[in-house]
Structure 1
Amino acid sequence: MSISAVLIDDEKHNLDNLQELLYAYCPQITVCAAALGADEGVSIILKHQPELVFLDIQMPNKTGFDLLRGLSNYDFEVIFVTAFDNYAIQAMRFAAVDYLLKPIDINELQAAVDRAVKKCRLKVQNQQLENLIHLLKSQQNKEDQRIALTTLKETRFVKTSGIIRCESSNNYSTFFLQDGEELLVSKPIYEYEEILKDYGFIRCHQSHLVNKKFVKSWKKEYGDHLLLFNGTEVPVSRSKKDEVKRALDTG
């Protein structure tokens, strides 16, 4: 199955390089158009109705995010291409959207394309991209922000305020939700520490990340533990002790 794609970047040599890589290593992609910049990019998206868009983030006048804000429908997959924008990478991790770093690595390109092709075959609207646009557009309270958690069966969009804690086991993490549900995702806990640190979460132990609003007390009997309102006790490691105290003291 071949899927249609458009390429958007503000530098022609980047467009030419990406097109050559796709032709050589991703035969399932048919490039139907390329655009220099965001305004031209909107035009080719509306004209060609692609299934996949390769989108540069850092472009003059309008960024790739600005381009997406200007669209009303997101019935295509997006693979972002960026040089070094740390904020963009964090936002894309938060929304579970694919990105490639320049210069483009062939293996990463093939893996991202394979994921996009699988999503296109399912013929479902790209909820991950909608979630990213929601994050970019909204000025809402952090209590209403959502994070994408990808399990073996689905990608769930969960409010950060409804996550009690996260516990790691090797390269897997289990999220414990306020409604009692548990979600197992195949990512290590350190990735979520970076994403959730601005939403009231504390890394109290190598294997534990806790939403501080669910912390009831600090127990010192038989070692330091955080007692949560649901009765769970979470250990506090010696190396994290001062950091956790500071975080709890600041509210």
Structure 2
Amino acid sequence: MNIAIVDDEKHCIESLELDLESLSLNHHIIYKTSKPMEALQELPKLKVDILFLDVEMPQLNGFELLDQLGEFDFDVIFTTAYSEYALQAFKNKAFNFLLKPVDVDELEEVLADWQKDNQKRAYLMNESAVKELLAKIKNEGFVKSKIAIPTVNGFEFLKTEEILYCQSENNYTKIFLSTGETKLISKTLKDVEKTLSNYMFLRIHQSYLINPKYLKQYNKTDGGYVVMDDGNSLPVSKQKRYLLIEFFDIISRS
């Protein structure tokens, strides 16, 4: 949970920081400022999940700041001493509204609601991605094609349908094939994922990209893992579980 705080009163920023620390959340305060004009320039550069935003500030109030930002992909929780701003806050698509001085119990409740809502949104996004993937499978089958991978002497062409999964090894990627061979290439897994984006591969973990054609089993125990057709078990990250569960669910209903 990446958090930013914009409040012209520095003691309010410090107080909110202490309240957040007391809740033992898995959070990072990646940006804080008492200068709204500075925030206008810096916020678009950051990957923020939640912005705690004061309303009454000099030069630029909270509503004006959001208006000038235009498009943004974080949730806003307004913090103010004036309850009359509540209606306007929700009209400005605020996730929630906290009165100063902030009550720690209310803060905890608001953040718990945000986590539930965020999980639901992630689930819906994953559901959409899986449905798109399955539509491609139904319409096109598992696409048979080749990709070029760099070698010392040039390039080697691999059949995408023979790739079981890819494993990240720092700035390299190891490709496991159905033939039992492995190929180590000087590309990051992120680059390989882009190359295979049209071939229905699933990113199940920061270190693994799999071909669902060879997916044999998903087990929820031990943090969650999949078993591939070659018998190897691969971990599934917490963020990707919804994607995989929805994948199996839609297949079972197809």
| TM-score normalised by the chain length of structure 1 | 0.45
